[in-house]
Amino acid sequence: EIYRTATMGWAVRAQVIIPAWSFVCEYAGLVIKQRDAMRLDQNRHRDQPNFLLVLREHRSDGGAVLRTHVDASTHGNVSRFFNHSCNPNLSLRPVRAGSIVPRLAFFACRSIAAGEELTFSYGDTTEIPSEAADSAVSRTVCRCGSGRCVGFLPYDATVFEQPTYAQKEP
């Protein structure tokens, strides 16, 4: 169920009990190129909702970081209204089936009660923000209310950097 919160805008709550490790839904949207994602990010006003999800996958061989950019602003589903929490009840996982482009699947990290808000972590919340990342331009105050709240939404300016490739030794 989509509903309006007092502090975080739109949100989604479970209508039934969701057992731990259950598939909840896919993050649906348009898979777009990095340059289009950069343009969306640059043209978005700070007060506008952000429905751009950037998945970064680090290859085990140390090669390039694989990035998938999904824009749910015009084509999406209920998952675009999942808010961030520093103590989330959902986990986002890439799933590949017949394509190199992953589908982004949400799974319950634990049992979720009916009526509980569905949340996931927008990124790494274990690092303390640096001075540069803590600027008013790049940081948004977190309003998750979790006892584990780090105070700011995860922010990583490197998501739009050009991919780097590790050099293999001969």
Beta bridge partners of 65: 58
Q: What is the largest CA-CA distance in the chain?
A: 58
Query: Could you tell me the pTM of the whole model?
Result: 0.82
Residue positions counted in the chain: 170
Cβ 44 vs Cβ 55: under 8 Å: no
**What pLDDT is attached to residue 152?**
87
Inter-CA distances, 14 with 7, 10, 105, Å: 19, 14, 16
Query: Tokens 């990342």, residue?
Result: 133
pLDDT in tens, the chain (170 residues): 999 999 888 999 999 999 999 999 999 999 999 889 888 888 877 777 788 888 888 878 877 788 899 999 888 999 999 999 999 999 999 999 898 899 999 999 999 999 999 999 998 655 545 544 444 445 788 999 999 998 888 876 666 666 544 444 44
**What pLDDT is attached to residue 39?**
87
Inter-CA distances, 64 with 31, 57, 59, 164, Å: 19, 9, 7, 6
Q: Compute CA 3 distance to the chain's CA centroid, rounded to the nearest angstrom.
A: 19
Question: CA torsion sign, 121 to 125 to 129 to 132?
Answer: negative
**What pLDDT is attached to residue 158?**
66
Cβ 154 vs Cβ 123: under 8 Å: yes
Query: Tokens 């331009």, residue?
Result: 137
CA–CA separation, 102 and 124 (whole Å): 20
Return the closest-CA partner of residue 160 out of 38, 33, 31.
38
**What pLDDT is attached to residue 169?**
43
**What pLDDT is attached to residue 166?**
45
CA–CA separation, 72 and 62 (whole Å): 30
